[in-house]
Structure 1
Amino acid sequence: MLSFGCPRLGFECAGHVGESDITNLILLSRARQSLKVPFIASGGFADGQGLAAALCLGASGINMGTRFMCTVEAPVHHSIKEQIVRAQETDTELLLRRWRNTTRLFRNDVALEALKVERESTTGKFEEIAPLMSGKRGKEAFVNGDPNYGVWTAGQVIGLIHDIPTVDVLVTRIEKEAEDALKDRLSLLKPAAKL
């Protein structure tokens, strides 16, 4: 029996997105209906409005991977962070579907080459794509700053990231935005009319 809570990872996320393609709008609502323990929403969160939405859908909080990757303190080359800031929510690709190990990656030259090999393969052998999918090359991109050096994960949330703040500034801003968003939505409630 699960008693300590669990993460809920939506299709919007970076990295391994699963094979069901279920977005957080459905996933979190379904988790709220089914779980008796707290859960954390993950995938597609970068701001306070997202936090407010996750809370309203039943989550106890949010996890942010790509958003924290684009902070001053993140051990990622500044050029990669700048690439994220310039990116749109459509600048990711899904790879490894053929092997039911779907992963969301930043759309760069290596990811597009790997996707082409995956789609055009006549053998269906992972070995054809493995050299392009090397995590070692992706990690090196975070060090050398070349966004096309290797594949690296990024969620669709990249379209919501417009700056490279400190973690403190980011978290403080998200808390304030969430509070403001919840207050604003609550202000729409009006007392029932008495007849």
Structure 2
Amino acid sequence: MVRTRFCEVFGVEHPIVQGGMQWVGRAGLVAAVANAGGLGFITALTQPTPEDLAKEIARCRELTDKPFGVNLTILPSINPPPYAEYRDVIVDSGIPVVETAGFNPAEHLPAFRAGGVKVLHKCTSVRHAVKAQELGVDGISIDGFECAGHPGEDDIPGLVLIPAAAGKITIPMIASGGFGDARGLVAALALGADGINMGTRFMATAEAPVHDSVKQRLVEATERDTDLIFRPLRNTARVARNAISGEVVSVLDKGGQFEDVRELVAGARGRKVFETGDLDLGIWTAGLVQGIIHDIPTVAELISRIVTEAGELIQGRLAAMVRSAE
């Protein structure tokens, strides 16, 4: 058993988080994580409307009586979704914890505080983590350059980012980006984190609501099989390497603009990858951690394996390396 202050503050058994993932963070996966003792997040914006989010929360509660959360990612948009309405559903549904990401969550914090909702804010830099702590969030998720999705523009990997943040963060902090097994959990704890967040690793589980071809691709892929798209636009995203990602990189490297790749990167196409298993149909996210994914276990098997092997590593191999001065 590995317990940290993250477990105490957020009310979970194990310091393992399944963060929000567009099209993936649905009731079945989230409930499986909760039942296994971790903290799972329904992805709010995967649901078409706030009313649909309320229904998805209700479905999750039919599958688990353990705590789970909702991810609310706030991003700039010409026609933004009704963030306040999604926020109000989270509060009114009695969700105990929200994972915020993207833009500064300040405008939403008063409502979350009033509703008794703890806030775990995802950051990709130390300065943003410090700012979020000053705003009064309850925990930080620090996201290294290895991660899937948006790693920020600083290109700082977890080996440096985690201890750099740990030196300035006093609230519970989990490490994200590149984590998928017990070795990663132990390393994160040694670097100063209080737990780990996993996204890509949870995609390769029996309960993940994605096509089996996607899961098998994660098993077969190496750590070299991702692309960084939108680099010239200063909106970098790490995605699984396929024909579409290669085309996007080529167009933008030659001076193209977002309008030139808009149709290629449409979210509806990425969603169809997960639904149909056609891996070249659109853009879909995957992290470098796919290089250490070798099977497709159930969520319960994965979490149990991680916490059991982490305890064995700490008490066995690492303890055996410590010798007294005598």
TM above 0.5, yes or no, is yes
Distance 2:190 2:210 in 1: 32
Equivalent residues in 2 for 1:126-145, closer than 5 Å: 126-145=258-277
Say yes or no: does 1:10 pair with 2:144: yes
Partner of 2:251: 117
Q: Quote the residue 1:74 is aligned against.
A: 208
Sequence identity, in percent?
A: 49
Q: SS in structure 1 opposite 2:201?
A: helix
Other-structure match for 1:46:
180
Aligned to 1:91: 225
For 2:164, what is the secondary structure of its paired residue? Answer: helix
The 1-side partners of 2:222 and 2:177 are apart by: 16
Structure 2 residue matching 1:16: 3-state secondary structure? coil
Letter in 2 for 1:54: A
Is 1:158 the counterpart of 2:281? The answer is no
Q: How far does residue 192 in structure 1 lie from its aligned partner after superposition?
A: 1.2
1:22-71 Cα distance to aligned partner (Å, 9 max, x none) = 00000111011111111010000000000000011111110100000000
The TM-score, its normalising length taken from structure 2, stands at 0.58
Of 101, 111, 115, which residue of structure 1 is paired with 2:235?
A: 101
- Greater relative contact order structure (CA < 8 Å, 6+ sep): 1
Q: Which moved more, 1:176-185 or 1:65-74?
A: 176-185
Give the one of 302, 306, 313 matched to 1:174.
306
Instruction: Tell me the equivalent position of 2:99.
Output: none
Deviation for aligned residue 1:3: 5.0
Q: How many residues align?
A: 191
User: Residue 95 of structure 1 aligns to which amino acid in structure 2?
Assistant: I
What RMSD over aligned residues (CA atoms) do the two structures have, in Å?
Answer: 0.9
CA distance in 2, matches of 1:186, 1:7: 28
Q: List structure 1 segments (4+ residues) > 4 angstroms apart after TM superposition.
A: none
The equivalent of 1:33 in structure 2 is 167
What's the CA shift string for 1:160-194, capped at 9, x where partnerless? 0000000000000001121122121122111112x
Residues in 2 aligned to 1:127 and 1:9: alpha-carbon distance in whole angstroms: 28
